[in-house]
């Protein structure tokens, strides 16, 4: 395997963690900046820790460009129940993009795709080039990508997540996780799933039958009347859900892999950003 190791940071997860962990703050221009401050400190800590641990050779922060993606064309109710971002967080989004660039780290987003899809595309391309990949996230959807050469880094729990974590949590291998997620659905993202099926039943069905299509083709064998009828009545939603949770892995890369090379932390752009924001404690 190549000595190249790509780290892909799920920036959207970082933003909301930063927003909820700090009290409201404003920068020296009077603009809300609590999430910007939190995001900056979290990214700085990550980069320092990874550098000290002889971590990545390549790094990028991946963000959501907008709330509407190809999944909304597939299902207009996808994420329809999610409230809009807090009013004081909205003006911080462009400042967070500025923060990433101040670290001289690529900040990547693409209209029509979710951050998870962009992460999946870069992960597939890097693995195909024989690189190692680490995704900085604990998102269950991204666990579908776990395989030899690719793990997740959960910075909240300071642990790496591999195949064993998926098997322990969901009862199936990572490659079968999408089928489990399709059956159980997701109320947060408004993925319909099959009514009455939770994680445990979904896992049991996929372990027994192997994949979603075989489950749906085997309803005659299912003994529980309610479960059987629900699978028959909601087969269309199960198939739709499978496509909604499937990560898009074949979109063109917005930037080439080699463009994500980590070249150190030039102090000047970061100093200018921190001074402009008035983050004096980080300038020390």
Sheet holding 150-154, edge to edge: 107-108, 58-62, 5-10, 132-136, 150-154, 159-161
Per-residue pLDDT, 118: 98
Please report which helix (H) or strand (E) contains residue 10, including its range. strand 5-10
CB burial of 180-204 (b: ≥16 within 10 Å; e: otherwise) equals bbbbbbbeebebbbbeebeeebbbe
Per-residue pLDDT, 55: 75
Model-wide pTM > 0.75: yes
pLDDT, the chain, mean: 94
Contact yes or no for 216/222 (Cβ under 8 A) = no
Categorise residue 9: left if φ over 0, alpha if ψ from -120 to 50, beta otherwise. Answer: beta
Contact yes or no for 22/13 (Cβ under 8 A) = no
The fold for domain 169-245 equals DNA polymerase; domain 1 (1.10.150)
48 or 90: which carries more pLDDT confidence?
Answer: 90
Tens of pLDDT, residue by residue over 117-133, are: 999 999 999 999 999 99
Q: Looking at the predicted structure, is the pLDDT value of residue 243 above 70?
A: yes
252 DSSP 8-state letter: P
Architecture of domain 5-161+254-283: 3-Layer(aba) Sandwich (3.40)
Q: Looking at the predicted structure, is the pLDDT value of residue 116 above 80?
A: yes
Contact yes or no for 136/10 (Cβ under 8 A) = yes
In the chain, CATH 3.40.50.1010 covers 5-161+254-283
- Count Cβ atoms below 10 Å from residue 55 Cβ, excluding itself: 16
In the chain, CATH 1.10.150.20 covers 169-245
Please report which helix (H) or strand (E) contains residue 58, including its range. strand 58-62
Tens of pLDDT, residue by residue over 138-168, are: 999 999 999 999 999 999 899 999 999 999 9
């Amino acid at each position: 395997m190549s000595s190249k190791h790509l780290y892909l940071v799920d920036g959207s997860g970082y933003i909301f963690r930063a927003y909820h962990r700090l009290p409201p703050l404003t920068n020296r221009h009077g603009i809300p900046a609590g999430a910007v401050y939190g995001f900056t400190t979290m990214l700085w800590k990550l980069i320092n820790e990874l550098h000290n641990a002889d971590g990545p050779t390549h790094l990028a922060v991946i963000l959501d460009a907008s709330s509407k993606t190809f999944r909304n064309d597939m299902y207009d109710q996808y994420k329809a129940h999610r409230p809009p971002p807090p009013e004081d967080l909205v003006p911080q989004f462009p400042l967070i993009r500025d923060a990433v660039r101040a670290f001289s780290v690529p900040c990547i987003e693409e209209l029509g795709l979710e951050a998870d899809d962009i992460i999946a595309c870069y992960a597939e391309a890097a693995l195909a080039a024989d690189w190692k990949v680490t995704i900085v996230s604990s998102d269950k959807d991204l666990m579908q990508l776990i395989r030899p050469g690719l793990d997740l880094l959960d910075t909240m729990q300071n642990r790496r997540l591999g195949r064993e974590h998926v098997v322990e949590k969901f009862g199936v291998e990572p490659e079968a996780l999408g089928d489990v997620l399709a059956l159980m659905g997701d109320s947060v993202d408004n993925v319909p799933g099959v009514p009455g099926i939770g994680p445990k039943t979904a896992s049991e069905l996929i372990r027994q039958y192997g994949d979603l299509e075989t489950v749906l083709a085997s309803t005659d064998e299912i003994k529980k009347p309610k479960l059987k009828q629900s699978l028959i009545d909601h087969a269309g939603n199960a198939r739709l859900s499978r496509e909604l949770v499937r990560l898009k892995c074949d979109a063109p890369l917005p930037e080439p892999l080699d463009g994500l090379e980590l070249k150190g932390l030039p102090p000047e752009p970061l100093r200018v950003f921190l001074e402009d924001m008035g983050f004096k404690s980080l300038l020390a």
